[in-house]
Amino acid sequence: MAAYVDYDFYSTVFEGKMPYKQFLIYEFKARKFIDKITFNRINENNINYDIKMAVCIAIEKIKKSDSERGFKLSETVGKQSVSYSESLLRRFESSLYKEISIYIPSELLYRGCDY
């Protein structure tokens, strides 16, 4: 599926300041996170203003996290080895979920079985 939010919405409605090429990278990351928490239930028929706002908020939070600290514990340059902190990543994802879940309809976040 295509992007949930376009650059025009991000820059004019949300008033985001990220350059276009950088926006494309972070929109993808935000969309994948939202796909994860909604179990891929978002489609062209249910994308609304609130979901677009959730994506924009996720874009900004993920960008801020990447630029501030990331989740790297260590990095070796020779033969490239990188270690990430799972606990920091889980804490960030939990925080991001709490912040954007108020914008996403509960039926898209539902983890139970549908009959």
Report DSSP letters for 39-83, one per residue.
TT---TTT--HHHHHHHHHHHHHHHHHHHHT-SEEEEETTTTEEE
Q: What is the pLDDT of residue 82?
A: 59
Question: How far is it, in rounded angstroms, from Cα 111 to Cα 89?
Answer: 21
Q: What is the pLDDT of residue 90?
A: 85
Question: How far is it, in rounded angstroms, from Cα 64 to Cα 19?
Answer: 14
Domain ranges of the chain: 7-109
* Exposed e or buried b per residue across 24-43, where buried means at least 16 C-beta atoms within 10 angstroms of its C-beta: eebbeebbebbeebbeebbe
Which residue ranges in the chain fall short of pLDDT 50?
Answer: none
Q: What is the pLDDT of residue 87?
A: 75
Amino acid sitting at position 88: L
Q: What is the pLDDT of residue 78?
A: 73
Q: What is the pLDDT of residue 89?
A: 79
Q: What is the pLDDT of residue 56?
A: 98
Q: What is the pLDDT of residue 15?
A: 98
Q: What is the pLDDT of residue 29?
A: 96
